[in-house]
């Protein structure tokens, strides 16, 4: 279990992030087309997982926009923005905001990201704000569990890990 805060109030997640040096799990996610995607579909690419509670909150939306901007300059790298939002909401957001350099995926139909779920407080059941970076072989290079859910992740540190 990890302890984070929401507006200064302590909340918890089911588990902690994967260890640096471990392999990413071959997690199942749902694409905006409602088709299934797995982490292994991106084998051979560097991966940035931008995990957040909901695209309908300001900080979550800002993280997708910032990674979209940053991803335009990254070689052999895919940025996957993951939440439990329905694919329809993610697709609508991307269309409205011109998001073309990151891929939004939903964990609404799978338990593969359940270790990062918030277990108490008003956001119970949603994913906590995290960044996980892995190399072309799926080895975890960097993780960040954002300690206060209302702040942005450390984009610079995440991208420097690549």
Structural tokens at position 14: 């089911």
User: b/e map of 91-100 (b: 16 or more CB within 10 Å)?
Assistant: bebbeeeebe
The catalytic residue among 60, 134, 140, 146 is 60
Neighbours of 107 (CB within 10 A): 22
User: b/e map of 4-43 (b: 16 or more CB within 10 Å)?
Assistant: bebeeeebbbeeebbeeeeebeebbbbbbeeeebebeebe
Residue 60 falls in the annotated catalytic set: yes
CA dihedral of 130, 10, 2, 15, whole degrees rounded to 10: -90
Which residues are known catalytic residues?
60
């Amino acid at each position: 279990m990890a302890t984070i805060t929401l507006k200064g109030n302590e909340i918890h997640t089911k588990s902690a992030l994967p260890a640096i040096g471990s392999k990413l799990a071959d997690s199942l996610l749902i694409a905006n087309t409602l088709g299934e995607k797995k982490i292994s579909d991106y084998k051979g690419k560097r991966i940035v997982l931008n995990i957040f509670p909901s695209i309908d909150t300001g900080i979550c939306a800002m993280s997708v926009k910032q990674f979209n901007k940053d991803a335009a300059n990254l070689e052999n790298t895919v940025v996957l923005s993951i939440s439990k939002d329905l694919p329809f909401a993610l697709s609508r957001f991307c269309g409205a905001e011109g998001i073309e350099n990151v891929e939004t995926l939903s964990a609404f139909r799978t338990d593969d990201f359940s270790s990062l779920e918030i277990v108490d407080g008003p956001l119970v059941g949603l994913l906590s704000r995290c960044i996980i970076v892995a190399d072309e072989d799926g080895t975890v290079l960097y993780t960040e569990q954002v300690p206060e859910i209302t702040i942005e992740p450390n984009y610079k540190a995440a991208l420097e890990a690549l």
